[in-house]
Structure 1
Amino acid sequence: MSAPQADGGPAGESLVAAVRDIATEAGALTLRWFGRRDLGVTWKRDGTEVTEADRAAERLVRDRIAELFPDDAIFGEEEGGSIRPDGRTWIVDPIDGTRGFVRGVPLYATLVALVDPHGPLVGVIDLPVLGQTLAAGRGSGCWLDDHRCSVSDHPDLSGALVNTSDYNTFEPIQFEALRSRGAMMRTWGDAYGYFLVATGQAEAMIDPVCETWDLAPMPVILAEAGGAFTDVAGRLEYRNRNGVATNGVLHPAVLDAMGAGHGGDRGK
């Protein structure tokens, strides 16, 4: 697949609101299961957990899209699909952080992205337990409820808060490169890590291994918050099963620490 382009038209406020409303409705549905013992957990072929809540939330999103946007394609973690190269596709992760969800960790998210041939058009991170929803539309800004969000201005890795979902996905040399430059390494990961970067509470989020539905909302969210998102090789691409989000200033340094070797090249 070729890298998405950043020159598409803006997302209208009504479209951003529709994506946000669908994501928050699905997120609210997951609360029916959160904290319960009878979650109906099963295991997928890839060794990850899936629950009744995952399936129900994705089904709700698909039903709403079918009602409101019947001509759009859908690609979801639980029911599959594909990304339409010549039209719009909704990309859905009903519960990002299922492993934490089944253990009662309140930082899981419902992720919904709408992409077009130019790349992500709208991205939403809904945090159901926290009652917070981050939404961004191309050319429309990044918003946490009624407050416009922006990334931090921290200038270097020393003292920067750097998150990941799982440090077991790092090569030892990558971890040491970040640690030796003074980064504060934490695991407030999954979508919550990207949320922290976009709202200026962290400087970087790194996922060396993940999936398309984990990352699809992030390019537009980070761009509209004034930050940067690429894969670990510095390409402006969310479909390569890895991602790096930063406040922008630190992006070359983070890519260098991860061994990208591109300096300031972000794949443009």
Structure 2
Amino acid sequence: MSQGADAPPRGDPPNASESLVGAVRDIAAAAGALTLRWFGQRDLGVSWKRDGTEVTEADRAAERFVRERIAQQFPGDAIFGEEEGGAVRPDGRTWIVDPIDGTRGFVRGVPLYATLVALVDPYGPLVGVIDLPAMGLTLAAGRGTGCWLGDHRCLVSDHPVLRGAMVNTSSYETFEPEQFEALRAGGAMMRTWGDAYGYFLVATGQAEAMIDPVCETWDLAPMPVIMSEAGGIFTDVEGRPEYRNRNGIATNGLLHATVVAAMEAHRGSAHGE
């Protein structure tokens, strides 16, 4: 069953304050800066988790830093992190933390990894931050406050069709052949500038879509508010506005239905349609 079955409260969701967005941004940026102590080092002490993904001392230290900072500044909030667990509180606020999104690239010295922090309330993501430590860039958005890269307000592109659109993903291994072929046949420029960096490119208007057929809640929690505040759309691969279904699509909005339809292509093939 979908993890997104809980209905949000009725009424208009409250906007985030600029001070709250700033606090989340600062915590994420400080945690990201901490990871640079390990970035580029030959011996990172890499170990493997039960799900087959890599984890390093940097992952653990960055999440521990975020947890300690939240405990100091927001002691009443819950925390759900990739490395130390937790749960999303349905009736309050929860911080969702991915200390290093793109650990596999991080351990190989690829500078496109990110530190992700989201603050969600019963209505959904309230604040979302993508910090790119090795690039010195921090993208932050709050409900009703816009999406910002420093002093620059970010907006998605106005490219209206799949042909010529830049479409990113974290790995082609997670696609069904029919899905990839539908995107390619539609004229999309397929690239693997993925993980959080792919979403960053969509929010800043440098790409038109990012597709994650398989991922985790902490990979996606910042994306709905980032995309909506940048003028785009985030859903799961079936077009539902939910970040907890372990998959996601972000687009500039103009070609969202086309991308969702392409990801549905394998269903028609499976049924002989």
Q: TM-score by structure 1 length?
A: 0.96
Question: What is the percentage of aligned positions where both structures have the same residue?
Answer: 81
How far is 1:2 from its partner? 2.4
How far is 1:40 from its partner? 1.1
Regions of 4+ moved over 6 Å: none
1:2 lines up with 2:27 in the alignment: no
In structure 1, what is the Cα distance between the partners aligned to 2:6 and 2:45?
38
In structure 2, what is the Cα distance between the partners aligned to 1:3 and 1:131?
37
Matches within 5 A, 1:91-110: 91-110=96-115
2:236 matched residue in structure 1: 231
Q: Looking at secondary structure, tell me which structure has more helix per residue.
A: 2
In structure 1, what is the Cα distance between the partners aligned to 2:35 and 2:6?
33
Matches within 5 A, 1:201-220: 201-220=206-225
Deviation digits for residues 56-89 of structure 1 (CA, Å, limit 9, x no counterpart): 0000000000000000000000000000000000
User: CA distance change for structure 1 residues 22 and 221 in 2, over 3 Å: closer, same or farther?
Assistant: same
Q: Return 5+ residue gaps in structure 2 as ranges.
A: 267-273
What SS does the corresponding residue of 1:85 show, helix, strand or coil?
A: coil
1:167 matched residue in structure 2: 172
1:112 matched residue in structure 2: 117
How many aligned positions are there? 261
In structure 1, what is the Cα distance between the partners aligned to 2:138 and 2:200?
9
In structure 2, what is the Cα distance between the partners aligned to 1:100 and 1:80?
22
- Whether contact under 8 Å (1:124, 1:135) holds in the other structure is yes
- Aligned match of 1:186 in 183, 191, 200? 191
Q: Return 5+ residue gaps in structure 1 as ranges.
A: 262-268
In structure 2, what is the Cα distance between the partners aligned to 1:207 and 1:64?
30
- Whether contact under 8 Å (1:3, 1:237) holds in the other structure is no
What is the Cα-based RMSD across aligned positions, in Å? 1.2
User: CA distance change for structure 1 residues 260 and 149 in 2, over 3 Å: closer, same or farther?
Assistant: farther
How far is 1:260 from its partner? 7.5
* 2:85 partner letter: G
- Aligned match of 1:37 in 24, 38, 42? 42
Deviation digits for residues 165-218 of structure 1 (CA, Å, limit 9, x no counterpart): 001000000000000010000000000000000000000000000000000000
